[in-house]
Structure 1
Amino acid sequence: MADTNYDVIVLGSGPGGYVAAIRCAQLGLKTAIVERELLGGICLNWGCIPTKALLRSAEILHYAQHAKDYGLKIAGAIEADLEAVVKRSRGVAKQLNQGVTHLMKKNKIAVHMGEGTLTGPTSLTVKGEKGEEKLTAKHVIVATGARARDLPFAPADGKRVWTYRHAMTPKEMPKKLLVIGSGAIGIEFASFYNDMGVDVTVVEMLDRVVPVEDKDVSAFLEKSLTKQGMTIMTDAGVEDLKVTAKGVRAKIKDSKGKVSETEFSHCITAIGIVPNTENVGLEKLVEMDRGFIQIDDYGRTKSKGLWAIGDCTPGPWLAHKASHEGVTTAEAIAKELGNKDVHPHPLDRANIPGCTYCHPQIASVGLTEAKAKEAGYEVKAGTFPFIGNGKAIALGEAEGFVKTVFDAKTGELLGAHMVGAEVTEMIQGFVIGKTLETTEAELMQTVFPHPTISESMHESVLASYGRALHI
């Protein structure tokens, strides 16, 4: 009979859950993880990672189609083999799923595959292949994540109306695609299918695409995507969606209030998420707001011994935020269980970066210029365009810019916003700077290597103070 009593049980094995389990194990706690589907959760199997594999294929296709811009000739037609592109993406996901399986074994974490339901703050039942198991622990961490929100009048059917999961394993290439929502997920899929040669229309109900980003980034991205052949409709809404034999018929209300009907072959809905907090036994144990579990800065719920992290708790709903919360919560539990060597730090939401892997890429951290002004700061903001950066020109990637926002009184870095090639790899410099509470003085004194696109980061800081050298 398998052991059923643990120090910690983690419900859900996404980037929050499996990282929390590893940290618990590192701290000497007897740990188990419960997973109903695939180790690694949505992120590894159906989200962050396999989408990046798809987007990489689209990027390579884009470069191949523009080979002559780099003085290269490619003989013969260049075309996408959809089946092979999807197969590569699934292979990447499988490799990472196996990686998590290995990490569980290495850290001696017991894995219970099945549907977990809490029977109290520190006990649960798991219904799986082995029948029903009853597990108990000193502490339980809920990391059940979230799923795509359906349109109320057109739930996803996997044939014509897709969520991100269907969009990742398409049986056929759409001819004309409608993407509803221009957050990270919507815009990444719009970018992927556009690069693959699909006619793409994006409908966003707010007044700009990627609405959480700085408005300069939104404006730049809209211009760039339109130039790439996309139709972007902001301040617009899908009033109705009817599935037909050939596709979907959408009633779209534009920014002027005019409603028109358009036919599409497929539709992707990317209008937010719903937390997976129903049917888990949470109702009497935690406080919820719109389904999201309310927690303190360390992940505690109102029930002693019951904790929660990741997408089933308040946002931002990002994998790296979930992983960080997982470590914090594991350390807080170890401390409660008597470990005097751990010193958990609560998460500072102002220092969580966001990355969107469309083409061009977007990355940001901290306050936008508008949000900084709203918060009462007197700001100094500067922008440096990639066209002034030697490496970007040499790469043939001169589209983009870096923008930094500072507190005019103290020089504190309040936010950084980038759009262009490889910015998702560069943002971390500003994240470290913010975590170390940097000011413009340290950033100006930092020597950036040449030639790199990251020099634009330095120049944008200089530009905020009227000192840019290359524009």
Structure 2
Amino acid sequence: MAAKSFDMIVIGAGPGGYVAAIRGAQLGLNVAIVEREHMGGICLNWGCIPTKAMLRSSEVFHLMHRAKEFGLKADGIDYDLDAVVKRSRGVAKQLASGVGHLMKKNKITTVMGEATLPSKGKVSVKTEKGTEELESKAIVLATGARARELPGLEADGDLVWTYKHALLPPRMPKKLLVIGSGAIGIEFASFYNTLGADTTVVEVMDRILPVEDAEISAFAKKAFQKQKMKIMEKATVKKLDRAKGKVTAHIETGGKTEKHEFDTVISAVGIVGNVEGLGLEELGVKVDRTHVIVDEYCRTGVDGLYAIGDLAGAPWLAHKASHEGVMVAELIAGGHPHPVRPDSIAGCTYCHPQIASVGMTEAQAKEKGCKIKVGRFPFIGNGKAIALGEAEGMMKTVFDEKTGELLGAHMVGAEVTELIQGYVVGRQLETTEEDLMHAVFPHPTLSEMMHETVLDAYDRVIHI
């Protein structure tokens, strides 16, 4: 049977792949997309979306406990973990089926199955019905990544969980150990801690949320400790002894190892790219520590072969994958897109309190030799934050003293994952401190703090 020919083939239907396919179709290309498991990929089915649905449940639960503060009465507050999970699965399912609809609407050929690249420009897909052969001069790899498993700390779904088990928990943990304090680890720690699990977070680096600005990390740590979360920094889980219904973790910190007992462990120690079984090495694709090496336009160095999203390395964020997908589709269609700048991509963590950032931290700006001006503003100085009962938080901006360029912005507190976008747009438009000072922010809003932190950098702050 002759291979079906396309202008562009995308392998993987996560937020990188399906967006690339849609943009390609919009530009008049005949597009095929191959997916082995779920439309929408990890993000929609097992990542970004269902975790936010679960975290929303825990946020509402937390607020119910604070009812008295708001002049409200709520008795016998409780939760049903199965119902919380069921809601999150429903949200994920709704969005995943939406992706399928978008493929049909844009006349994209969908092939469900496992892809390999037998030779340049060729894709072979093992489907339920047999093998389908496809060909194209432009192939986009968007196969994503999976949880990294460390030797001795492997998940078993019972005592030791990955993010997938944590999203479909067999039970509510009583005493929980979370290994890793990046976004995934902290979000699950926050969720289960809010629902009453006695939670300990172990981080190998010298502080939790190591990619964030040090001041924001320190603020978040205090907030988590106030919520009775235990935080162990510069600590390593050496091994786990598993017994019936319990795990003994050997945790090394400050040169000595202590044993701690838990009933559940969540491992969130990073991700590895899905590079196996595609035939990449035979094609001459360079892979470094499970990630495909690409240039700024996501080209692999093999003619007509691109790699986007988690597969192509950090930052491991859905919105980065989507933008790379659009860029690559435009390139394939003969356009001249701008490369995606990693330093203009915001990171958001949906724990309680939320954390969001874009651009350089204060330390990174200093390392680069920039002469900087730094502004800070606390939530306690903002009327809307106090009215919401969310007076815990802070914002911080970093400017280049000479040019007024906004180098970075960092936030911790209520709804900062929505607010950060103001600074993202500002950086995209190459805004200066003057532009931000002249912008009129509506009152009363949390966004006014974004104005105040800029004013503070230049000793003009009003409300503190």
Pick the TM interval, shorter chain.
over 0.9
RMSD of aligned alpha carbons:
1.0
CA deviations over 1:134-157 (Å, ceiling 9, x no partner): 111121100000000012112111
Runs ≥4 in structure 1, deviation > 2 angstroms? none
1:434 aligns with 2:427: yes
CA deviations over 1:164-206 (Å, ceiling 9, x no partner): 0110000100110000000000000000000111110000011
Paired position in structure 2 for 1:41: 41
Q: How far apart are the structure 2 equivalents of 1:56 and 1:277?
A: 34
Q: How far apart are the structure 2 equivalents of 1:314 and 1:434?
A: 23
Aligned amino acid, residue 343 of structure 1: H
Aligned amino acid, residue 247 of structure 2: V
Superposed displacement of residue 257, structure 1: 2.2
Q: How far apart are the structure 1 equivalents of 2:30 and 2:441?
A: 45
Paired position in structure 2 for 1:226: 225
Paired position in structure 2 for 1:159: 158
Superposed displacement of residue 5, structure 1: 1.2
Indicate the SS of the match to 1:119: coil
Counterparts of residues 109-120 of structure 1 (less than 5 Å): 109-120=108-119
Q: How far apart are the structure 1 equivalents of 2:355 and 2:3?
A: 47
Aligned amino acid, residue 265 of structure 2: C
Paired position in structure 2 for 1:52: 52
Aligned amino acid, residue 403 of structure 1: K
Indicate the SS of the match to 2:398: strand
1:133 aligns with 2:126: no
Q: How far apart are the structure 1 equivalents of 2:415 and 2:144?
A: 28
Q: How far apart are the structure 2 equivalents of 1:197 and 1:122?
A: 53
1:401 aligns with 2:399: no
Mapped contact 1:154–1:242 kept (Cα < 8 A): no
Paired position in structure 2 for 1:150: 149
Aligned amino acid, residue 84 of structure 1: A
Superposed displacement of residue 122, structure 1: 1.3
Aligned amino acid, residue 282 of structure 1: L
Superposed displacement of residue 461, structure 1: 0.3
Q: How far apart are the structure 2 equivalents of 1:121 and 1:83?
A: 47
Aligned amino acid, residue 401 of structure 1: M
Superposed displacement of residue 4, structure 1: 1.8
1:194 aligns with 2:186: no
Aligned amino acid, residue 244 of structure 1: A
Mapped contact 1:413–1:440 kept (Cα < 8 A): yes
Superposed displacement of residue 278, structure 1: 0.9
Indicate the SS of the match to 1:125: strand
CA deviations over 1:354-395 (Å, ceiling 9, x no partner): 000000000000000000000000110010000000000000
CA deviations over 1:338-362 (Å, ceiling 9, x no partner): xxxx331101111000000000000
Paired position in structure 2 for 1:344: 337
1:293 aligns with 2:286: no
Superposed displacement of residue 258, structure 1: 2.4
Paired position in structure 2 for 1:18: 18
Counterparts of residues 224-373 of structure 1 (less than 5 Å): 224-254=223-253, 256-285=254-283, 286-335=285-334, 342-373=335-366
Mean Cα deviation higher: 126-135 or 216-225 = 126-135
Paired position in structure 2 for 1:414: 407
Mapped contact 2:2–2:133 kept (Cα < 8 A): no
Aligned amino acid, residue 127 of structure 2: G
Mapped contact 2:273–2:311 kept (Cα < 8 A): yes
Indicate the SS of the match to 1:120: coil
Q: How far apart are the structure 2 equivalents of 1:94 and 1:122?
A: 33
Aligned amino acid, residue 384 of structure 1: F
Select 1:376's aligned residue among 356, 362, 369.
Answer: 369
Aligned amino acid, residue 123 of structure 2: L
Q: How far apart are the structure 1 equivalents of 2:290 and 2:167?
A: 27
1:463 aligns with 2:456: yes
Paired position in structure 2 for 1:97: 96
Paired position in structure 2 for 1:168: 167
1:179 aligns with 2:178: yes
Q: Percent of aligned pairs with the same residue?
A: 64
Q: How far apart are the structure 2 equivalents of 1:190 and 1:383?
A: 27
Aligned amino acid, residue 268 of structure 1: I
Aligned amino acid, residue 26 of structure 1: Q
Relative to structure 1, the CA distance from residue 236 to residue 313 in structure 2 (aligned partners, 3 Å threshold; closer, same or farther) is same
Q: How far apart are the structure 1 equivalents of 2:225 and 2:120?
A: 51
Superposed displacement of residue 69, structure 1: 1.0
Aligned amino acid, residue 273 of structure 2: P
Aligned amino acid, residue 393 of structure 2: G
Mapped contact 2:3–2:135 kept (Cα < 8 A): no
Q: How far apart are the structure 2 equivalents of 1:291 and 1:148?
A: 12
Q: How many residues align?
A: 463
Indicate the SS of the match to 1:178: strand
Mapped contact 1:249–1:263 kept (Cα < 8 A): yes
Q: How far apart are the structure 2 equivalents of 1:401 and 1:2?
A: 61
Mapped contact 2:182–2:210 kept (Cα < 8 A): yes
- Taking structure 2 as the reference length, what is the TM-score of the superposition? 0.99
Indicate the SS of the match to 1:171: coil
Q: How far apart are the structure 2 equivalents of 1:89 and 1:192?
A: 13
Aligned amino acid, residue 47 of structure 1: G
Q: How far apart are the structure 1 equivalents of 2:462 and 2:231?
A: 35
Q: How far apart are the structure 2 equivalents of 1:428 and 1:385?
A: 19
Q: How far apart are the structure 2 equivalents of 1:297 and 1:261?
A: 46
Aligned amino acid, residue 33 of structure 1: I
Mapped contact 1:121–1:140 kept (Cα < 8 A): no
Superposed displacement of residue 2, structure 1: 10
Superposed displacement of residue 291, structure 1: 1.7
Aligned amino acid, residue 428 of structure 1: Q
Indicate the SS of the match to 1:382: strand
CA deviations over 1:268-309 (Å, ceiling 9, x no partner): 011100000011111132111112111111111111111110
Q: How far apart are the structure 1 equivalents of 2:27 and 2:185?
A: 39
Superposed displacement of residue 3, structure 1: 7.5
Paired position in structure 2 for 1:6: 6
